[in-house]
């Protein structure tokens, strides 16, 4: 599989680039890349991240400023493999084991982590062949990533781990909670 680390967006609530936030001696983007490397992924794409990172490819959106669908669309087109992990840069505590579970469950279409009965489309595996469907969404008025689930067979993988590991790092307060956990696992 290929991997997409979604690092775009304006980080308005955080007030600074979330991908660059330090955690455990590296940045959030480096932390997510390390997870994929530990799983043996060789084709790692960075969506919405302008700086080079060793062993990764920076992929620019074909349709800029259209949300995560735009990043996934561009990376699906550029992927070297038939399926792609997609993981948001701001979900730093998601364990590698969860990514492995998603990969093992993937049998085509979209395999998405589910929590509390709701899908987490920013922790999922997408077939590369879905990029035309992503493009259709990008040409529509509403570009919600959840619409991708309407275009493919969806396998839902229930998340049974600690709820805190799904915490998104969108605000300074959430970041401080994550940092506190990291210091005291």
Q: Which domains does the chain have, with CATH numbers?
A: 2-183 (3.90.550.10)
The string of pLDDT tens digits covering residues 6-36 is 998 878 888 888 999 999 899 999 999 999 9
Please tell me the pTM assigned to this model: 0.95
Cα distances (Å, whole numbers) of residue 69 to 30, 99, 100, 133, 179 = 22, 20, 23, 10, 29
Of the candidates 54, 60, 13, the residue with the CA atom closest to the CA atom of residue 34: 54
Which residues of the chain form beta strands (DSSP E)? 2-6, 22-23, 26-27, 43-47, 56-59, 83-88, 110-115, 118-127, 154-158
Ordered alpha helix ranges (H), 39-95: 68-78
The string of pLDDT tens digits covering residues 123-165 is 999 999 999 999 999 999 989 999 999 999 999 999 999 999 9
Q: Are 182 and 24 in contact (CB under 8 A)?
A: yes
């Amino acid at each position: 599989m290929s991997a997409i680390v979604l690092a775009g967006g304006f980080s308005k609530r955080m007030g600074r680039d979330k991908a660059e936030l330090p955690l455990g001696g590296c940045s959030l983007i480096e932390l997510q890349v390390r997870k994929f490397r530990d799983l043996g992924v060789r084709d790692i794409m960075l969506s919405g991240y302008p700086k080079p990172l060793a062993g990764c490819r920076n992929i620019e959106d074909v349709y800029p400023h259209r949300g995560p669908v735009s990043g996934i669309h561009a990376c699906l087109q550029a992927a070297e493999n038939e399926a792609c992990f997609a993981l948001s840069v701001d979900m730093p505590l998601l364990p590698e084991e969860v990514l492995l579970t998603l990969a093992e469950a993937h049998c085509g279409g979209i395999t998405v982590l589910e929590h509390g009965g709701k899908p987490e489309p920013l922790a999922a595996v997408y077939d590369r062949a879905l990029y035309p469907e992503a493009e259709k969404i990008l040409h529509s008025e509403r570009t919600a990533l959840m619409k991708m689930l309407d275009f493919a067979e969806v396998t839902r993988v229930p998340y049974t781990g600690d709820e805190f590991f799904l915490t998104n790092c969108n605000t300074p307060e959430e970041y401080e909670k994550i940092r506190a956990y990291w210091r005291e696992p």
